[in-house]
């Protein structure tokens, strides 16, 4: 079977695949497979944490995605060129995973990177509840 390929605007040349043999995670804001074009440089973004003593989980998720966006722009990339994200969640539960899913859908839209969520007991930083890192390509 041939996988369906999407080439969304802003992410030209990046293939986001959801083969019918695999679970289709597109409604959760990510893809099963992403293939990067070979004519671009890779951009690796270290974990971004937006913690503070008075910030709740959703504020940290929003802030971390904002920091990710800033780091991507500094590296010549954008949310549309992100290939993969990894999200670390302290005390992960259905509500926290739903918050991350909503943030993925909001920030990536149709530019769905592959994504891994890893529940962890704690993060660096006394108040940190969420961390995100990314691999992207540069914008053409």
Q: What is the pLDDT of residue 21?
A: 95
pLDDT confidence band for 140 (50 / 70 / 90): confident
* pLDDT (average), residues 5-31: 80
pLDDT confidence band for 4 (50 / 70 / 90): very low
Write the CB contacts of 88 (distance below 8 Å, at least 6 apart in sequence): 47, 118, 120, 123, 130, 131, 132
Q: Domain residues for 115? A: 5-137
User: pLDDT tens digits, residue range 107-126?
Assistant: 999 999 999 999 999 999 89
Domain CATH number, residue 119? 3.30.1330.40
* pLDDT (average), residues 123-139: 95
* pLDDT (average), residues 47-70: 96
Is the pLDDT assigned to residue 1 strictly greater than 80? no
Other CB atoms within 10 Å distance of the CB of residue 29: 22
Tell me how many domains the chain contains. Answer: 1
């Amino acid at each position: 079977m041939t996988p369906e390929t999407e080439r969304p605007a802003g992410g030209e040349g990046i293939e986001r695949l959801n083969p019918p043999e695999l679970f289709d995670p597109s409604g959760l804001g990510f893809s099963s497979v992403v293939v990067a074009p070979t004519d671009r440089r890779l951009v690796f973004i270290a974990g971004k944490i937006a913690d503070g003593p008075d910030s709740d989980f959703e504020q940290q998720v929003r802030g971390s995605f904002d920091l990710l966006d800033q780091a991507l722009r500094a590296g010549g990339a954008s949310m549309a060129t992100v290939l993969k994200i990894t999200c670390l969640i302290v005390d992960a539960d259905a509500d926290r995973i739903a918050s991350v899913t909503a943030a993925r859908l909001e920030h990536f839209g149709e530019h769905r990177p592959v994504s891994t969520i890893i529940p962890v007991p704690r993060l660096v930083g006394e108040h940190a509840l969420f961390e995100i890192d990314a691999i992207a390509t540069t914008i053409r």
